[in-house]
Amino acid sequence: MAKNLIIVESPAKAKTITRFAGKGFMVKASMGHIRDLPKTKLGVDVENDFKPQYTIDVKKRKIIKELKEAASKADYIYLASDHDREGEAIAWHLAEVLKKELKNKTVHRIVFNEITQKAITKAIKSPGTIDFPKVESQQARRILDRIVGYNISPLLWKVISKNLSAGRVQSVALRLICEREDEIKKFDPKEYWTIEAILKRDELLPFKASLHKWEGKKAEIPNKEKADEILKHIKNEEFIISDIKKSVRKIHPTPPYITSTLQQDAARILGYSAKKTMMIAQQLYEGVALEKSSVGLITYMRTDSLRLSSESLAAGKKLIIERFGEKYLHDKTRVYKNKSSAQDAHEAIRPTYPSKTPASIKHFLSPDQFKLYSLIWQKFIATQMIPISLHTVQIDTKAGKANFLVKGNTIINKGFMEVFPHVIMVLGEEIDKNYQKGDILDHEKCSTKQNFTKPPARYREATLIKELESKGIGRPSTYASITNTIQVRKYVILKEKRFFPTDLGYTVYRFLIAYFDDFFNVTFTAKMEENLDLVEFGDIKWIEILKSYYGDMTKLIESVDVKSAKKDLAEKTDIPCEKCGANLIVKWGKNGAFLSCPNYPECKTIHNFEKDEDGKIHIKKPETLAENCPQCGNPLMVRNGRFGKFIACTNYPKCKYTKPFTIGVKCPECKKGDITEKKSKKGRAFFSCTNYPDCKFITNNKPVPIKCPACDNPYIEERFSKQKGNYKKCPVCGHEVF
């Protein structure tokens, strides 16, 4: 048995480290946290200095047993979880759970920013101990989130609907999205006009210039009358170039990636969600099989540090000289300054081996891994390359009281764009170099254009992360979780890659700011993040933060009047109840929003509803069928139940006749039953045969009653892929129809 035991979080990480640790070392994976606060209760003794009551994850019992056996036989134990708060907490939990097996043994804490031979060897040779302030910071965050979830979420259940939850940081993200939506709804577009002129001299290349000044002041044209007045004035004026400015402008590369900027660029360039970006980055960090061994390709991906090691910089410079020539290497080493909250122990996200170019290892990577690794590699190499050089020309043309301006840029040297082509750059007009000051120009065409000011744009995932980071909310390890959680809870939806608050999300937002505005705001949440940093740095005690937070929150919770809150939050309509005449209100249930009588439970009128384009609520008429109920003769209707659509009698509850809702396709297996649409317990649609259990046909793709032109199969399935879009495919012969 190996005398040295290294414990990491994941099997992939264990596999990579095993390669570097050498003989005498065994590497085991804990599969993340092995214990946490209980799921069924608060698990925090608020009367006893917020002492947490940790429980073992039942799914980890087998893993813990294996870890205990390995630890009991080893002489030296190395806790090698990730180099952040969460990783430090995992190491501490391991030490606590394995306390008996680790008694009288040497226990080390080792950390590294990259999984390479040099980093692992260095960590083992110079081990440390568990950083308890970092553990306490993680523990404080975990308890804070638990206190919020277990104390405020039940209020949401009472006031709005069951199974809702309020997250300490996620609720602030929801607030930002809802406040942006309010801005958009309240936005009053202002009219303004622009004037452009196409100018030229002789046979030179014409250019388009915009009205810049009118009567010596910045041009502001509020309406068509003013635009026509200016147009009339300049019609017979002589256009003379009054000034030409030429300069060389340089665009320097931006800093190497940190977590937030990687997520933003991966969204902009690759179309990846933050969650997907972090999942792929984790794979690249922990190790990818190259030929016969697993290799960690990037440094730790949860970081807000911009530091680059001297070794990596030397390797990057060498590669630049070899691939692009020495003229592309910047004359000075660029060093980027960290924000004050960043720890210098971390590095920026960079390739561990710059010599491993994306092209050289492409055949070992999945397409997604290759794209993200390429982005990280390109950004790192670009940081030490020469800037982009632009030749800038600005021409000011005078026409009576009007001044027209045009700017143009020409690339002199692509610089770092040779390796990182994803630079956002507006070059403007192409301007002939032979224009001179004093030239009299022909104005071939002068045109006006009506414009309107636009409301602020809705957040994309990348811009929301940027906003959170700029306001000091969240940390590198939490951005992906924040944006994912508000979607999973159905508080927001993504349409055309932009966040829209749902009616449910907007209702939750209104409740939280009405009663807990002091807690769910940007300033307070950012201050709390700073306090958690101070706990990590050992400057303040974590218990003091919790005492203050819990005391203030308890007072606010006690002040909430549930009945009054329900009344204030209820969305009122002008639709009268057919039984008692009271105007119906919107309520929330497990299947979404519905209309209800405010006099419930005395009056139990309920209706499904829909909103038109203007947001006006209408009662949704039931989808009735041409056939009648065989039991009572009343018409049949389509209803939605827990497991999808079904057909029921309109005379319910007096008549309880029901039958499956079918989509007009015969089962391709038994040829007897019909295909019915159903929903799983998780809400996912699937299609099965009404002849179940005799026929167990099932598919996730909707069958369409179209005969396959290749094999005459009676139905084809609806499918979708990013590459092909919507298309239909025959499940029998594979023929595709677009």
Q: Find residue 641's DSSP bridge partners.
A: 644
**Residue from 285, 300, 435, 509 carrying the catalytic annotation:** 300
Concatenating the DSSP letter of every residue in 322-340 gives HHH-GGGB-SS---PPPPT
Q: In terms of Cα–Cα distance, which of 449, 391, 435 is closest to 211? A: 449
CB 570 within 8 A of CB 598: yes
Distance CA 97, CA 102 (A): 9
Q: Which residues contact 315 (CB under 8 A, 6 or more apart)?
A: 353, 354, 355
Q: Around Cβ 74, how many Cβ atoms within 10 Å? A: 24
Count the alpha carbons within 13 Å of 405 in the hemisphere toward its beta carbon.
10
Q: How does 89-106 read in b/e, with b if 16+ C-beta sit within 10 Å? A: bbbbbbbebbeebbeeee
Q: Which two tokens stand for residue 107?
A: 């226990």
Q: Around Cβ 595, how many Cβ atoms within 10 Å? A: 22
Q: How far is CA 371 from CA 276, 311, 324, 382, 465, in A?
A: 12, 25, 21, 16, 21
Q: In terms of Cα–Cα distance, which of 561, 570, 571, 519 is closest to 171? A: 519
Q: How does 563-581 read in b/e, with b if 16+ C-beta sit within 10 Å? A: eebbeebbbebeeebeeee
556 burial level (CB within 10 Å; 0-12, 13-18, 19+): middle
Ranges assigned E (strand) in 673-735: 674-679, 685-689, 698-699, 703-704, 716-721, 725-729
CB 91 within 8 A of CB 102: no
CB 666 within 8 A of CB 630: no
CB 13 within 8 A of CB 286: yes
Concatenating the DSSP letter of every residue in 208-252 gives EEEEEEETTEE----SHHHHHHHHHHHHTS-EEEEEEEEEEEEEP
Q: How does 483-504 read in b/e, with b if 16+ C-beta sit within 10 Å? A: bbbbbebebbeeeeebbbbbbb
Q: Is 698 helix (H, G, I), strand (E, B) or coil?
A: strand
CB 358 within 8 A of CB 364: no
Q: Which residue has the tokens 């009404």?
A: 690
Q: In terms of Cα–Cα distance, which of 47, 114, 542, 71 is closest to 286? A: 114
Distance CA 491, CA 261 (A): 25
Q: In terms of Cα–Cα distance, which of 702, 639, 654 is closest to 675? A: 702
| Phi-psi region at 77: left, alpha or beta (left = phi > 0; alpha = psi -120 to 50) | beta
257 catalytically annotated: no
Which residues are tagged catalytic?
300
